[in-house]
Amino acid sequence: MKSRSAAAPFGIWMALFTIVPLAIVVWFAFTDQNGDFTLSNLSAIGEHAGAFGLSIALGAIATILCLVLAYPLAYSISRVSERAQQTMVMIIMLPMWMNFLLRTYAWMSILENNGFINQFLRLIGVLGEGQSLPLINTNGAVVLGMVYNFLPFMVLPLYSVMVKIDRRVIEAAQDLGSNGFQVLFRVIFPLSVPGILSGITMVFVPAVSTFVITKLLGGSKVMLIGDIIESSFIGHGANYHVGAALSLVLMILILICMAFTSLVDKGEDEGGMMA
């Protein structure tokens, strides 16, 4: 078929703007300022092992929280009428239309020492005058920011898998004497695994590599790998070579995670996350 040639512009475009840039990242990672081969950029990773560890830990916690929070929600959406489903999906997607930075910024007003939560706690007398709960600039605030921003990415793939579960399968399990928990763990859960896996990747990847959320909600106290990469490309003391090496490691790390999830999932090549 001649139609194949229609993909030629795409092929050229993606080679130029996806493959070549990644090759340049690799080149920068293994060279120094003079363009000579070096491994010293990679050894900088040792210095930032703490940031790598913290990124993975916070990213993993946020992903698990998203899964736990999204699962019941996605399930209940998938069981209502089609019109109600459309409305609820819209309610979940609508916040994404408000600028991501501003939404996160708004959490500062809620969490900071004079923010709404602390104001409220002082009002009802839980906290004395001048006292405040340390909410902002903590690891917890960063995790909250991650959960808040990426929750829809977990709800949508879960929902799109669950909506395809045949009601009759659940009814059959109930007819055969399964109680609610058995239906959940032995029927619904196994059938929703592809959604869980694509949800996990869609939350974990942006969470582990974020730098905006830490800048806004973590103050300067929480440094993730994304912050370190950003500062090696923007501002004073930028070092593209170290930044490229760190990006390379981050990318490989995520590829390993992805390979792990795709081992469990034997799905199609065009993942079915969005309906």
Q: How far is the CB of 29 from another protein (least distance, A)?
A: 10
Of the residues 154, 226, 242, 245, which one makes contact with another protein according to CB under 8 A:
226
Phi, psi torsion values for 199, nearest 5 degrees: -65, -45
Of the residues 73, 163, 183, 191, which one makes contact with another protein according to CB under 8 A:
73
Tell me the window of 19-27, 126-134, 163-171, 188-196 that interacts with another protein (CB under 8 A): 19-27
Phi, psi torsion values for 31, nearest 5 degrees: -125, 165
Other CB atoms within 10 A of residue 84 CB:
11
Q: How far is the CB of 24 from another protein (least distance, A)?
A: 5
The span from the CA of 73 to the CA of 75, in Å, is 5
In terms of CB distance, is 96 or 169 closer to another protein?
Answer: 96
Please state the length of the chain: 275
Q: How far is the CB of 216 from another protein (least distance, A)?
A: 7
Q: What's the DSSP call for residue 3? A: G
| Residues 173-192, interacting with another protein (CB under 8 A) | none
- Asked whether position 49 contacts another protein by CB under 8 A, the answer is no
The span from the CA of 137 to the CA of 107, in Å, is 11
| Residues 128-147, interacting with another protein (CB under 8 A) | none
- Asked whether position 99 contacts another protein by CB under 8 A, the answer is yes
- Asked whether position 199 contacts another protein by CB under 8 A, the answer is no
CA nearest to 58, candidates 243, 200, 210, 232? 210
- Asked whether position 209 contacts another protein by CB under 8 A, the answer is yes
- Asked whether position 218 contacts another protein by CB under 8 A, the answer is no
Of the residues 154, 161, 242, 244, which one makes contact with another protein according to CB under 8 A:
244
Q: Where are the alpha helices (DSSP H) in 2-48?
A: 8-14, 20-29, 40-47
Q: What's the DSSP call for residue 4? A: G
- Asked whether position 245 contacts another protein by CB under 8 A, the answer is no
The span from the CA of 259 to the CA of 242, in Å, is 26
